[in-house]
């Protein structure tokens, strides 16, 4: 085990979880010399979970020997903390860490092992000197979310994805609604296979690559693909946080934009007083929402244009905005009648100004083409719609495109044109009127 050559000018605070106290003590000495502070030490997996639930956003080092550790617990940890690394001391322990789907595995028995540099690898410091994960420059993830009772999220997500595609960008629309998935019905896609469930299985088997992704999506139009949602909402336990994160990461590699339709709400047990390990270890229905929102660059909060919609928006934003604090945020007030338009714009403009002065607010007019979409199982483009709804959604699409103008660079997707053409004819992408 190599010695640390010097300490870093920035402090990295971590939580460590080891099963061998003697082994941990030697590593702590090395870490301290390199500017790493171990704020808490845990002796088993449940204790680690309880600490991370209280102090979210921390960096964690876990030993492959940690008692009661499992892949399910590691998946939960990745949704709660800033980063997780697993340290292994031999081939057997490394294989065990791989079985947990660990993304960062450190081999402490290798002669070139440098604890500090490997823990800091992939991290960078912000303006305040705090360590954070360095985000690679990838495509944009857009979440369509909102408070309970906000009708029209799916219609908006479909319209937004189609509008972005019409502007020349490649778009994947994912139905990640675990309560009322409806994109396949809305678009008239007649297939028994759930695209997102198949993708999750590939992800958990560490087999989600370009070709397996092709098994899970369907062409809807030029530059526009869809991954269908749950065939039955009761299957939501099949969508785990780790799998969803891998689906997002893989989709980023092949699409300019990934638009994700979500159900409303978030699990709230993290914010409740006290620690109860039972719900922590239990699958959570809204873990998909939290995972997507944490990884989104843009969040659209779709709400209804009345007093109830305003109240629910204020509540959900105050309780949940921290989950997607780094994302661009836009409130979409849906189904605004022309006669009430001026009043609604004044009221929601004032309300959103109080909630968060940085919030952008956009308004979607009531339009019969939205009803026609469902009645005819078509997109707005297939209906050749030209009304105010198309214009308003188009303005939202333009804002998404402008949001990328300051990016350092964008991946070149042109080599994938031929590959993506196989999506139309793949066995799991059953033909339909939209195909």
Quote the pLDDT of residue 106: 92
pLDDT confidence band for 138 (50 / 70 / 90) = low
Tokens of 185: 């019905």
CA distances from 172 to 136, 276, 341 (A): 19, 38, 32
CA distances from 429 to 9, 61, 368, 380 (A): 53, 41, 30, 22
DSSP 8-class letter at 16: E
- Residue 2 half-sphere exposure toward CB, CA atoms < 13 A: 14
pLDDT at residue 288 is higher than 80: yes
DSSP 8-class letter at 188: T
pLDDT at residue 116 is higher than 60: yes
Q: How many other C-beta atoms lie within 10 A of the C-beta of residue 68?
A: 13
Q: CATH topology for 12-133? A: Rossmann fold (3.40.50)
Quote the pLDDT of residue 281: 47
Quote the pLDDT of residue 101: 87
Which helix or strand (DSSP H or E) is residue 289 part of?
A: helix 287-294
- pLDDT tens digit sequence for 324-347: 999 999 999 999 988 888 999 999
Q: How many other C-beta atoms lie within 10 A of the C-beta of residue 7?
A: 13
Asked if 195 contacts 216 with a C-beta cutoff of 8 angstroms, the reply is yes
Quote the pLDDT of residue 123: 61
Quote the pLDDT of residue 125: 47
Give the angle 273-357-82 at the CA atoms, nearest 5°.
45
Asked if 15 contacts 8 with a C-beta cutoff of 8 angstroms, the reply is no
pLDDT confidence band for 54 (50 / 70 / 90) = low
Mean pLDDT, range 57-81, rounded to an integer: 86
Asked if 7 contacts 16 with a C-beta cutoff of 8 angstroms, the reply is no
pLDDT confidence band for 268 (50 / 70 / 90) = low
Quote the pLDDT of residue 140: 93
Distance CA 396, CA 164 (A): 9
Mean pLDDT, range 387-397, rounded to an integer: 92
Distance CA 333, CA 330 (A): 10
Quote the pLDDT of residue 55: 64
Distance CA 261, CA 115 (A): 41
Q: Worst-scoring range by mean pLDDT, 5-14, 18-27, 255-264?
A: 5-14
Q: How many other C-beta atoms lie within 10 A of the C-beta of residue 325?
A: 9
Strands (DSSP E) contained in 230-357 are: 257-261, 298-304, 328-336
Total length of the chain = 435
pLDDT at residue 412 is higher than 60: no
pLDDT confidence band for 386 (50 / 70 / 90) = confident
pLDDT at residue 137 is higher than 50: no
pLDDT confidence band for 53 (50 / 70 / 90) = low
pLDDT, the chain, mean: 81
Query: What one-character-per-residue DSSP string does 302-331 give?
Result: EEESSHHHHHHHHHHHHHHGGGGTTSEEEE
pLDDT confidence band for 404 (50 / 70 / 90) = low
Higher pLDDT, 193 or 165: 165
Distance CA 198, CA 428 (A): 10
CATH superfamily entry for domain 140-425: P-loop containing nucleotide triphosphate hydrolases (3.40.50.300)
DSSP 8-class letter at 134: P
Domain map (residue ranges) of the chain: 12-133, 140-425
Task: Look at the alpha carbons of 295, 58, 104, 240 in this order and tell me if their dihedral is positive or negative.
Answer: negative
DSSP 8-class letter at 3: P
pLDDT confidence band for 122 (50 / 70 / 90) = low
Quote the pLDDT of residue 269: 45
Q: Which residues contact 266 (CB under 8 A, 6 or more apart)?
A: 286, 289, 290, 293, 319, 320, 323
Q: Do 140-425 and 12-133 have the same topology in CATH?
A: yes
Q: How many other C-beta atoms lie within 10 A of the C-beta of residue 21?
A: 9
Task: Look at the alpha carbons of 427, 154, 254, 286 in this order and tell me if their dihedral is positive or negative.
Answer: negative
Which helix or strand (DSSP H or E) is residue 84 part of?
A: strand 83-88
Quote the pLDDT of residue 422: 36
Paired sense of beta strands 298-304 and 140-145, if any = parallel
DSSP 8-class letter at 414: G
Asked if 191 contacts 428 with a C-beta cutoff of 8 angstroms, the reply is yes
Quote the pLDDT of residue 303: 94
What Rg, from alpha-carbon coordinates, does the chain have? Answer: 23
Q: Worst-scoring range by mean pLDDT, 155-159, 317-321, 424-428?
A: 424-428
pLDDT at residue 129 is higher than 50: no
Quote the pLDDT of residue 365: 92
SS3 (DSSP) at 96: helix
Quote the pLDDT of residue 273: 42
pLDDT confidence band for 120 (50 / 70 / 90) = confident
Mean pLDDT, range 215-225, rounded to an integer: 86
């Amino acid at each position: 085990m190599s010695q640390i050559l010097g300490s870093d000018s920035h402090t990295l605070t971590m939580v460590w979880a080891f099963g061998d106290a003697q082994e941990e003590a030697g590593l702590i000495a090395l870490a301290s010399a390199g500017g790493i502070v171990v704020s808490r030490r845990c002796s088993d997996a449940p204790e680690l979970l309880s600490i991370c639930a209280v102090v979210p956003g921390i960096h964690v080092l876990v030993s492959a020997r940690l008692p009661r550790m499992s892949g399910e617990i590691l998946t939960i940890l990745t949704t709660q903390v800033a980063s997780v690394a697993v340290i292994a001391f031999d081939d057997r322990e490394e294989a065990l860490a791989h079985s947990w789907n660990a993304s960062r595995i450190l081999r402490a028995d290798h002669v070139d092992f440098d604890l500090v540099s490997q823990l800091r690898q992939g991290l960078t410091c912000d303006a305040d000197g705090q360590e954070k994960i360095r985000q690679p420059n990838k495509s944009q993830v857009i979440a369509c979310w909102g408070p309970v009772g906000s009708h029209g999220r799916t219609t908006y997500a479909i319209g937004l994805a189609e509008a972005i595609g019409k502007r020349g960008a490649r778009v994947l629309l994912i139905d990640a609604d675990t309560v009322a998935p409806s994109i396949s019905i809305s678009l008239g896609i007649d297939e028994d296979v759930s695209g997102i469930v198949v993708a999750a299985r590939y992800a958990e088997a560490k087999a989600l690559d370009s070709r397996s992704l092709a098994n899970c999506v369907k062409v809807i139009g030029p530059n526009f693909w869809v991954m269908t949602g749950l065939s039955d909402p009761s299957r939501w336990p099949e969508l785990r946080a780790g799998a969803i994160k891998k689906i997002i990461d893989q989709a980023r590699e092949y699409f300019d934009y990934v638009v994700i339709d979500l159900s409303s709400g978030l699990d709230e047990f993290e914010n409740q007083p006290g620690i109860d390990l039972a719900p922590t270890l239990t699958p959570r229905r809204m873990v998909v929402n939290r995972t997507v929102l944490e990884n989104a660059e843009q969040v659209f909060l779709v709400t209804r244009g009345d007093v109830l919609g305003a109240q629910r928006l204020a509540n959900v934003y105050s309780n949940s905005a921290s989950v997607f604090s780094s994302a661009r945020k836009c409130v979409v007030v849906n189904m605004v009648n022309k006669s009430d338009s001026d009043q609604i714009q004044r009221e929601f403009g004032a309300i959103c100004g109080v909630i968060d002065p940085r919030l952008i607010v956009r308004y979607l007019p009531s339009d019969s083409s939205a009803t026609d979409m469902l009645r005819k199982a078509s997109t707005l483009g297939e209906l050749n719609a030209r009304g105010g709804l198309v214009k308003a959604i188009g303005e939202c699409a333009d804002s998404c495109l402008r949001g990328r103008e300051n990016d350092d660079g964008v991946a070149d997707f042109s080599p994938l044109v031929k590959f993506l053409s196989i999506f139309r004819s793949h066995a799991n992408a059953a033909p339909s009127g939209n195909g």
